[in-house]
Amino acid sequence: MNAKLLSVNVGRAFAAPYTSAEGGTGIDKRPVAGPVAVSAPGPKGVGGSGLAGDAVVDRRHHGGDDQAVYAYAREDLDDWQRQLDRTLPNGVFGENLTTTGLDVTDARIGERWRVGTEVLLEVTCPRIPCRTFQGWLDERGWIKRFTAAATPGAYLRVLQAGEIRVGDPVRVEHRPDHDVTIALMFRALTTRRELLPRLLEAGDPLPAEARATVLKHRARTAN
Mean pLDDT, range 34-55, rounded to an integer: 96
Dump pLDDT digits (tens) for 75-105. 999 999 999 999 999 999 999 999 999 999 9
Angle at 207 between CA 206 and CA 208, to 5 degrees: 115
Instruction: Using pLDDT thresholds of 50, 70 and 90, give the confidence band for residue 22.
Output: confident
Give yes or no for residue 58 having a pLDDT over 90. Answer: no
CB crowding 118-143: b at 16 or more within 10 Å, else e: ebbbbbbbbbebbebbbbbbeeeebe
Beta bridge partners of 197: none
CA distance 7 to 168: 9
How much is the mean pLDDT over the chain? Answer: 96
Among 7-21, 40-54, 130-144, where is mean pLDDT lowest? 7-21
Position 124 pLDDT exceeds 90? yes
Euclidean distance between CA atoms 106 and 85, whole angstroms: 25
Q: Examine the pLDDT at 1 and tell me if it is beyond 70.
A: no
pTM across the whole model: 0.96
Q: Residue 60: which pLDDT band, with cuts at 50, 70 and 90?
A: confident
